[in-house]
């Protein structure tokens, strides 16, 4: 069985980083954007990181511009925005695609391990679904991720144990991370 440790990604400078470097840690892997309605998720993410990193928790941040062009900056501009506005200290990697033919293999695997189950119930969630469907139409069956700030929780053995859409309350994400630790 494949684990997250089988993947290599690029850091902000373009250097290869084997995810095996995070072996034994609980990971939250997130695709992000700086100009999204969910961008304020950076704040509770950083709070969790500061409070739990000593217990073996890491957040891996992958900026992506495939959702309404909400991360148009360079890797350095995105990093500067996140560190200045939200004080982020968790690792931020090179901007990637998470959908389509150019999707990063890590995100294709994550989404295959934990497929999309919907944004939730109610009018607000239905509107989000309609907007995401319109945006992701171009990716067809390779629309792995539906929107920015989709989060994947990885256990200490490198297996995907949960997927959280951006519409999931951050307290629920926190509780799941606590349980995995």
Report, as residue numbers or ranges, the catalytic residues: 36
Retrieve residue 75's tokens.
């890797």
CB atoms within 10 A of CB 121: 8
Q: Which residues have C-beta within 8 Å of that of residue 65, sequence separation ≥ 6? A: 33, 71, 72, 95
Sheet order of strands, 151-154 included: 57-63, 26-32, 151-154, 160-164
Q: Which residues have C-beta within 8 Å of that of residue 77, sequence separation ≥ 6? A: none
């Amino acid at each position: 069985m494949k684990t997250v440790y089988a993947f290599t990604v690029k850091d902000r400078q373009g250097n290869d980083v084997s995810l095996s470097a995070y072996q034994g840690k609980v990971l939250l892997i997130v695709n992000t954007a700086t100009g999204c309605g969910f961008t304020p998720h950076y704040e509770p993410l950083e709070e969790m990181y500061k409070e739990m990193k000593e217990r073996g928790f890491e957040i891996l941040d992958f900026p992506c511009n495939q959702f309404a062009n909400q991360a148009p900056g360079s890797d350095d501009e995105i990093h500067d925005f996140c560190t200045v506005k939200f004080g982020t200290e968790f690792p931020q990697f090179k901007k990637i695609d998470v959908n389509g033919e150019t999707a990063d293999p890590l995100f294709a695997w994550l989404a295959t391990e934990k497929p999309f189950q919907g944004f939730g119930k109610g009018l607000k969630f239905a509107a989000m679904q309609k907007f995401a469907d319109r945006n992701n139409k171009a990716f067809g069956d390779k629309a792995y991720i539906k929107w920015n700030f989709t989060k994947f929780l990885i256990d200490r053995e490198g297996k995907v144990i949960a997927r959280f859409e951006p519409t999931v309350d951050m307290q629920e994400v926190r509780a799941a991370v606590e349980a995995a630790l």
